[in-house]
Amino acid sequence: MSTIAEFVQRLPKAELHLHIEGSLEPELMFRLAQRNGVSLTYDSVEEIRSAYRFSNLQEFLDIYYQGMAVLLHEQDFYDLTWAYIEQCRSNNVVHCEIFFDPQAHTDRGVGFESVVAGISRALQDARDKYSISSRLIMCFLRHLSEERAFASLDEALPYLHLIHGVGLDSSELGHPPEKFERVFAAAHALGLKKVAHAGEEGPPEYVWQALQLLEVARIDHGNRALEDSGLVQALVKSKIPLTVCPLSNLSLGVVDSLENHPLKTMLDAGLLVTINSDDPAYFGGYLNENYLRIAQALKLNASQMSVLAQNSFKASFLSSTEIALRLAEVERCQSHK
């Protein structure tokens, strides 16, 4: 018999909702600031960490976009991504699907090429050195216009061999998915997969729009879908996964405590739910910490942890053969607990 912490550690897992810029730890932020001659408004790592108190999504986003100012060159994006890969290794994350926000960089004069090349080179090294597989998903910033999203998709055209899908993130309220219907259709025509943040702060209507207008393969967060039973039924029937992020939800006030997190309600409703870390450098924990904290808060057992790990592969963009192999690994882990 192992403890739940040992069991979570041993479980092979996929992470499907991770903003690579949200994995920028204060220590690396300082190192890159020095290397690039960028001045920070903070004097120490401790001061940065103590600024990470948010009462909603926008308060976080303001600090998140500020932090990115240290990312200027291809090597910076490589170092950022490699640091996350090291976390994958220690959390036994064997597959990751990573978001990046190209507009947050190109708007500061950083070339699309530097961003994609740095991230992709680290992901290739992760494959070669650690057999960690990955997919890269470019997000459109929803507080910016449709026209700017189209411009970003245009910039991505030379790199489509490195980009697997598109996503939609940033300030949700007031920026419904319908604003991006045409750019998602264009991405689909290019053969890209589609996902979108919806129902984190926004109403169930935004989740409906993501499903019906953007025709997404996954909903990122989706917490507020529970307010609409017809929507829950539609998500269950279509097996559209929700990539849920417990520590993020706690940090941004989406839930007032992990004990009141809707994860168990979602599982009980038959939803295909996965656990993810979102922006771990800002929200206080990588993937295992998210599994553990939610297990403790909701009194989940080892077989529920296994279901969550299985869901992470089922909801991924891996091939059906790769998914079957990973599910068998989870099964073996479960039978040796």
Q: Which does 249 bind (CB under 5 to 8 A by kind): ligand ADE, Zn ion, none?
A: none
Contact status: 248 vs ligand ADE (CB under 6 A): yes
Contact status: 97 vs Zn ion (CB under 5 A): no
Give the count of beta carbons closer than 10 Å to the beta carbon of residue 143.
Answer: 16
- Residue closer to ligand ADE by CB (options 118, 167) is 167
Contact status: 97 vs ligand ADE (CB under 6 A): no
CB of 102 vs Zn ion, minimal distance in Å:
15
What strands lie across the sheet with 218-221, from one edge to the other?
13-19, 93-100, 133-141, 165-169, 193-198, 218-221, 242-244, 273-275
Catalytic pick among 200, 227, 329, 331 = 200
Using the rule CB under 6 A, which residue among 170, 251, 306, 310 binds ligand ADE? 170
- Residue closer to Zn ion by CB (options 25, 278) is 278
Contact status: 57 vs ligand ADE (CB under 6 A): yes
CB of 56 vs ligand ADE, minimal distance in Å:
11
Contact status: 279 vs ligand ADE (CB under 6 A): yes
Using the rule CB under 6 A, which residue among 13, 18, 19, 87 binds ligand ADE? 19
How many residues touch ligand ADE under the rule CB under 6 A: the total is 11
**Position 249, amino acid:** N
Rounded to an integer, what distance in angstroms lies between the CA atom of residue 90 and that of residue 9? 8
Q: Has 200 been annotated as catalytic?
A: yes
CB 27 within 8 A of CB 329: no
- Applying CB under 5 A, which part among 53-61, 186-194, 233-241, 272-280 lies near Zn ion? 272-280
- Residue closer to Zn ion by CB (options 25, 169) is 169
CB of 252 vs ligand ADE, minimal distance in Å:
7
The residue assigned the tokens 């991006």 is: 180
Tokens found for residue 247: 């520590």
CB of 46 vs Zn ion, minimal distance in Å:
26
Measure Cα distances from 55 to 173, 202, 290 in Å: 15, 15, 19
- Residue closer to ligand ADE by CB (options 155, 200) is 200
Tokens found for residue 248: 């993020």
Contact status: 22 vs ligand ADE (CB under 6 A): yes
Contact status: 278 vs Zn ion (CB under 5 A): yes
Query: Backbone phi, then psi, for 15, in 5-degree steps?
Result: -115, 125
- Residue closer to ligand ADE by CB (options 169, 310) is 169
- Considering only the C-alpha atoms of the chain, give the largest distance between any 2 of them, rounded to a whole number of Å: 56
- Residue closer to Zn ion by CB (options 42, 293) is 293
Of 173, 108, 171, 166, nearest to 140 by C-alpha is 166
Find residue 166's DSSP bridge partners. Answer: 138, 194
Interface with ligand ADE in residues 177-206 (CB under 6 A): 197, 200
Contact status: 201 vs Zn ion (CB under 5 A): no
CB of 243 vs Zn ion, minimal distance in Å:
8
Contact status: 74 vs ligand ADE (CB under 6 A): no
Tokens found for residue 252: 């941004």
Residues sharing a CB contact under 8 Å with residue 82, sequence separation 6 or more, in sequence order: 122, 125, 126
Tokens found for residue 121: 């080179």
**Beta strands in the chain, from DSSP E residues, in sequence order:** 13-19, 93-100, 133-141, 165-169, 193-198, 218-221, 242-244, 273-275
Contact status: 25 vs ligand ADE (CB under 6 A): no
**Which run of H or of E encompasses 313?**
helix 302-314
133-141 and 165-169 strand pairing: parallel
Contact status: 278 vs ligand ADE (CB under 6 A): yes
Interface residues with ligand ADE (CB under 6 A)?
A: 19, 22, 57, 64, 169-170, 197, 200, 248, 278-279
Interface residues with Zn ion (CB under 5 A)?
A: 278
Residues marked active site are found at 200
